[in-house]
Amino acid sequence: MSVTGSADRSSAVADLLKRSAGRAELIIHYHATRGYELVSANTAASLLFEMPPQSFAHRPRPWEQLPLSLATYLAQALAEFTGNEEEAMPDFRPTSSDPTAPAYKSTLFHSTSGVGAEVNLEHWYLFCFERADLAATQHRSKVESGKLENIGELASGVAHDFNNLIMGIQANAEALLAEQQTLKENQKNALINIVRACSSGSALTRSLLGYAKRQPLAMTQFNLVDMVNDVVRIDALALDAAHELVMDPALSSKAPPILVTGCYSSLSHCLLNLVKNAREAMPRGGKVQIHWEGDEQTARLSVRDNGVGISKESLEQIFKPFYSTKKSGTGLGLAMVKGIMSQHEGTAEIASEENVGTAVTLAWPRKTTTLKSPPRAIAAEPRKTTDEIMKAKPATAAVAAMAAKTKRLAFVIDDDDLVRGGVQGLLQHLGYQVEGYGRGEAAIAALAPQHVPKLILVDYHMPGMDGSEFIRYWYSELPQEYREIDTQILLVSGHPPSQFQEIIRKYSEHNVGLLQKPFSMETLQKKLTDFSALRSITTRIRPGTIPGRPVPIGNPSMRNAVIKPNGNPSFRGTRPVPKPRVADQS
């Protein structure tokens, strides 16, 4: 006897397939006059239960014709069924002499068709089977993916706020360093250490964003010897008398260059993390050893200690996010190392024995054509030391002389007064006449026909008129006489440049660029010396594609703004200006 082909049946079955995401294995039909029947079994189900496939085109298979293993299982499952639309059923284990045969997790989806009394209802039962071991793997994968997504969300917010903080510290420190002829040697060294610490903090946020795949890594060729010695100088500040740092002779500061391809800042962070872990694994002291084990094709950098070691159980979990063997650990350090190495098409290898020690090796191709070039928004140059920055006097002098000669006016628009003050100091050292504003509206109100800046640095995240709205207003609604000067505008943000890939594309013919916080004096002067170079390594911006705005940092300032009763900023001149369309802050 055929199962009814009514619209009710189609609707019930479609509902089951929708809820099971199309993974149907078995469909059982029940009616009071016919009992239970098998109406559908896909190929996977027929192989699992050793029976021919079944479809709605065939006559339903009554209960007594089902394989014994299937009938036995269904009887148990339906006896435990409580009537929900979706329930987890007991695992199915094939009747096999092989004790290692995998179990199958089962999910039951239930639907009904027909109306009226129970005797008229038809019940439909969809059983979906998945190998338990594969299902567990998929579940772990989903959990890891969820953790990575959470890290990405966290990283994006932390990076913005942290980069903003670093920018304020670094800019003010470099502004003081710019007057190094008046500084004592110990003052200069202290400021250099501050800038180096800022550089390391910036590398940390880039590494976190890189691990969470929120910011592509900038791959370049660099000297690994320089990178290792840079990390060693930073870590030396944390060494005590009980710990000793031993370097492979191939990595000493006087050793021949070892050229590798990779992200300088991210690999620096990986190495710094491993050295820190090695020290903490030896609470009573010991040697931290850094070895070069690479060849012409592969870079291999190893960090070893003779500390407490790691148990076999922990070794299986050690690279997973949020897993830590330390009481105060975050569980992100080695997870970030592994993520960064995967982006280098490499690996992080660990070998450890309890009470003997641990060795962690970073391995990646020295040269590869498969590594993609960094996006145009990402600066592709290795991080330089503060000493190198301070030696770059000719370029700085050229910029300062040009700005001073032409009496160039610059606006710095940022609601964080710490950042605003620091960047103003950098620009003043470069010879600019600088005015700072806490809001875009205040900067617009300060304009006059003879008071138009040649350079504007505007922060993206601000209350009221944000950076992208300011740029739109400048090129769309500002009176023409104020735009006759080809003003250079840099949109500044603590978020990674990759988030601004598509912003303000329609302004590609104008001098609009992107600058990520924190930036150094050297980076800033390069942008100002050759703005066309800046445009070649930055991306255009288009409204409507920016992620949600975090809570602004700092206290807004309306310096020099003249606010009318209706809230419109007015210029120092007499010409009226259109009211800015402020982006919705809700």
Res 383 pLDDT > 50 = no
Q: Which of 195-209, 298-312, 510-524, 570-584 has the highest mean pLDDT?
A: 298-312
DSSP string, 222-257: EEHHHHHHHHHHHHHTT--TTEEEEE-GGGSTTSPP
Res 553 pLDDT > 90 = no
Are residue 521 and residue 467 in the same domain, yes or no? yes
Residues β-bridged to residue 247: 290
Res 299 pLDDT > 90 = yes
Give a yes or no: residue 315 inside a domain. Answer: yes
Give a yes or no: residue 557 inside a domain. Answer: no
Residue type at 309 in one-letter notation: G
Res 566 pLDDT > 70 = no
- 408: burial class by Cβ within 10 Å (0-12, 13-18, 19+)? buried
440, 469 contact by CB (below 8 A): yes
Residue 370, SS3 per DSSP: coil
440, 413 contact by CB (below 8 A): yes
- Cross-sheet strand order for the sheet of 347-353: 243-247, 286-292, 298-305, 357-365, 347-353
Are residue 217 and residue 304 in the same domain, yes or no? yes
Residue 462, SS3 per DSSP: coil
Q: Nearest Cα to 439, choosing from 455, 425, 459?
A: 459
Residue 542 half-sphere exposure, CB side, CA atoms within 13 Å? 6
The DSSP symbol for 82 reads -
Give a yes or no: residue 561 inside a domain. Answer: no
420, 443 contact by CB (below 8 A): no
Residue type at 391 in one-letter notation: K
φ, ψ for residue 51 (rounded to 5)? -150, 165
Give a yes or no: residue 21 inside a domain. Answer: yes
Q: Nearest Cα to 127, choosing from 63, 59, 73?
A: 73
Are residue 462 and residue 326 in the same domain, yes or no? no
Res 214 pLDDT > 70 = no
Prediction pTM value: 0.47
Are residue 209 and residue 357 in the same domain, yes or no? yes
Range in 223-232, 273-282, 459-468, 565-574 with the lowest mean pLDDT: 565-574
Res 78 pLDDT > 80 = yes
Are residue 254 and residue 356 in the same domain, yes or no? yes
Q: Which of 16-30, 125-139, 224-238, 296-310 has the highest mean pLDDT?
A: 296-310
Q: Which two tokens stand for residue 244?
A: 């000793």
The DSSP symbol for 551 reads P
Q: Nearest Cα to 37, choosing from 58, 10, 15?
A: 58
Task: Name the residue with tokens 């190929």.
Answer: 43
Res 534 pLDDT > 90 = no
The mean per-residue pLDDT over the stretch 39-49 comes to 83
Are residue 344 and residue 399 in the same domain, yes or no? no
85, 19 contact by CB (below 8 A): yes
105, 135 contact by CB (below 8 A): yes
Helix-helix angle 185-211:224-236, to 10 degrees: 110
CATH number at residue 306: 3.30.565.10
CATH number at residue 483: 3.40.50.2300
Are residue 283 and residue 403 in the same domain, yes or no? no
CA dihedral 92, 96, 98, 99 (to 10 degrees): 40
Q: Which two tokens stand for residue 210?
A: 């890189």
Range in 11-15, 33-37, 187-191, 240-244 with the lowest mean pLDDT: 11-15
Cα–Cα distance, 85 to 549 (Å, whole number): 41
Residues 6+ apart with CB under 8 A from 286: 242, 243, 244, 305, 306, 307
Task: Name the residue with tokens 């600088």.
Answer: 434
% of the chain with per-residue pLDDT over 90: 14
Give a yes or no: residue 581 inside a domain. Answer: no
Are residue 361 and residue 390 in the same domain, yes or no? no
pLDDT band, residue 23 (cuts 50/70/90): low
Give a yes or no: residue 116 inside a domain. Answer: yes
Give the sign of the dihedral formed by CA 504, CA 508, CA 509, CA 511. positive
Are residue 194 and residue 322 in the same domain, yes or no? yes
**pLDDT reported for residue 562:** 36
Range in 69-78, 274-283, 544-553 with the lowest mean pLDDT: 544-553
Count of structural domains within the chain: 3
Are residue 300 and residue 448 in the same domain, yes or no? no
Are residue 360 and residue 416 in the same domain, yes or no? no
**pLDDT reported for residue 187:** 81
Residue 515, SS3 per DSSP: strand
Res 130 pLDDT > 70 = yes
Cα–Cα distance, 481 to 449 (Å, whole number): 7
pLDDT band, residue 125 (cuts 50/70/90): very high
Give a yes or no: residue 556 inside a domain. Answer: no
Range in 174-188, 421-435, 546-560 with the lowest mean pLDDT: 546-560
Are residue 116 and residue 196 in the same domain, yes or no? no
Cα–Cα distance, 560 to 434 (Å, whole number): 13
* Residue 458 vs residues 234, 316, 410, 468, 578: alpha-carbon distances, Å: 33, 48, 11, 9, 20
Which of 365, 399, 420 is at the close of a domain? 365
Which of 97, 120, 143 is at the close of a domain? 120
Q: Which of 4-18, 246-260, 359-373 has the highest mean pLDDT?
A: 246-260
**pLDDT reported for residue 289:** 92
Res 54 pLDDT > 70 = yes
**pLDDT reported for residue 272:** 87
**pLDDT reported for residue 46:** 82
The mean per-residue pLDDT over the stretch 296-311 comes to 91
Domain interval for residue 30: 7-120
Give a yes or no: residue 584 inside a domain. Answer: no
